[in-house]
Amino acid sequence: MPSYEAIARQRLPKAHYDYFAGGAGDESAVHENEAAFARLRLAPRVLGGVAPDLAVTLPGGRASLPVLVAPTAFHRLAHPDGELATARAAAAEDTVMIVSMASTIPIEAIAETGATLWFQLYVQPDMAFTERVVGRAEKAGCRALVVTADSPVFGIRPRDLHNGFRDLPEGLACENLREGDVVRPIEFSPEISWAHLDRLREVTDMPLVVKGVTHPDDARTAVGHGAAMVMVSNHGGRQLDRVAAAIDLLPEIADAVGAAVPVTVDGGVRRGTDVVTALALGARAVLVGRPIIWGLAAEGERGVREVLRRFRAETEVAMALVGAPLDRSVVRRC
C-alpha cells in the first residue's frame, strides 16, 4: 500500500508537495531530525506491572495521546477542507491541534469544530495588529498561545526558490490576518525579543508557550519570562540548516527546565517508538507536522484521523513494551 506521503506526492502539484516536504539549505536538518531517532535504541524494562497511559495534561488542556498536531501553514493547499478537516480529526481523536497563524481557514471557523485548539503566533512588527490577532484567537476559545521564536527571518528554501513558490494561489489567504477586505502579509520580525513575550503575557490570559527553543539557556530564560511550556524544535529543518536534530537537543533542555514547566519536542517523529523515545528523554508530548499534512492531502479528515490512530496504536504498544519506568535509562545511542 502506498504511504500517505507517496499519495500526497502524486496528488499535489510539485511546487506544493515540495513546499510541505522541503526545508532550508541542503535540508540536512530535515533529514537529521529523522536520522537522529534512527540512531537511538531502546533497552526495555520488564515486569514493571504498569499499564500504558497515553493521556497527558498540559497547560492548554488535556489530550488523550501525547501526540499533538503541530502548527503548519496552508492546509487548503493540501486539501480543499483545509484546517477544518484537520481540526475535526484532532477532535475525533481527542488531541490538541495547534493552529498556525498562517491557516487558510479563519480561527473562528476552525473553533466551531469543537476541537481543543492552541493558536500559533508570529509576532508582527505592528504590535497593535498582533494584539488584535491574539484577541481573536482568545475570543474564539484557543487555550494556549504558542509564540514561534525560531523565525526572526524566513529560512531560505531552495525547493521553493527553484519552483518559484512564494505565496498562496488566488482564492486562498491567511484568514487570521484578514481585517475586512484586507489581508495583511505575514511579516517576520528580527526585532522580536523577550520583551515581546512580556507584553503578550500582559494582553492575554492564555498560557504562553515558546516554540523553537534549541538552547538550554533560552529554555531557562523562557521559563523566567513566564512561559508555561517550552517547545524544542528546529521548525522541521525549515529555518536554519545544520541545526542539531530536535531529539538530540531535548535532553539538555529538559535538564535546564527541570520540573518547572512541561517540554515538548517536534521534528522527525514518525512512529510510536519515536514518541516513546521522546517521552523517555524528557518530553511530556510530541508534535507532528508533515505526517498530518500527508494524511490530509491523501484523504482529508479521514487521512488525518488515520495518522493519529496509527500514532495511538503504535505508542500504546511501544509504551507497554518499553515498560516502566520510562526514563532516560531505557535509551541507548548506537
Ligand X SMILES: Cc1cc2nc3c(=O)[nH]c(=O)nc-3n(C[C@H](O)[C@H](O)[C@H](O)COP(=O)(O)O)c2cc1C
Catalytic residue positions, numbered:
235
**What is the greatest pairwise CA distance in the chain?**
62
Q: Choose the one of ligand 173, ligand X, none that binds residue 281, judging by a C-beta under 5 to 8 angstroms depending on kind.
A: none
Residue 135 assigned as binding residue: no
Which has the closest alpha carbon to 117: 76, 77, 145, 93? Answer: 145
3-state secondary structure of 116: strand
- As a whole number of angstroms, the distance between CA 111 and CA 139 comes to 10
Residue 289 assigned ligand-binding role: yes
- Give dist(CA 284, CA 275) in Å, integer: 10
Pick from 307, 284, 313: nearest CA to 62: 284
In angstroms, rounded to a whole number, what is the distance separating the alpha carbons of residues 297 and 284? Answer: 28
Residue 41 is labelled as binding a ligand:
no
Q: Is 290 annotated as belonging to a binding site?
A: yes
Q: Which three cell numbers stand for residue 307?
A: 495518522
Which residues ranging from 102 to 161 are in contact with ligand 173 (CB under 6 A)? 102
Binding site for ligand X (CB under 6 A): 20, 33, 70-73, 100, 102, 120, 148, 211, 233, 235-236, 238, 266-269, 287-290, 293
- Among residues 84 and 323, whose Cβ is nearest to ligand X? 84
- Report the residue number whose CB is nearest to ligand X: 289
What the block records as the C-alpha cell of 280 is 523517555
Q: Provide the minimum distance between the beta carbon of 221 and ligand X in the complex, in angstroms, as a whole number.
A: 19
Q: Count of H helices and E strands in the chain? A: 13, 14
Cell of 68: 499533538
Q: How far is the CB of 197 from ligand X (least distance, A)?
A: 15
Member of 73, 77, 223, 231 binding ligand 173 (CB under 6 A): 73
Among ligand X, ligand 173, none, what does residue 186 contact (CB within 5–8 Å per kind)?
Answer: ligand 173
How near is the Cβ of 161 to ligand 173 at its closest, in Å?
Answer: 13
Query: Which of 155, 181, 183 is CA-nearest to residue 168?
Result: 183
Is 214 annotated as belonging to a binding site? no
With CB cut-offs between 5 and 8 Å by kind, which of ligand X, ligand 173, none does residue 268 bind?
ligand X
Binding residues: 19, 71-73, 100, 120, 122, 148, 157, 211, 233, 235, 238, 266-270, 289-290
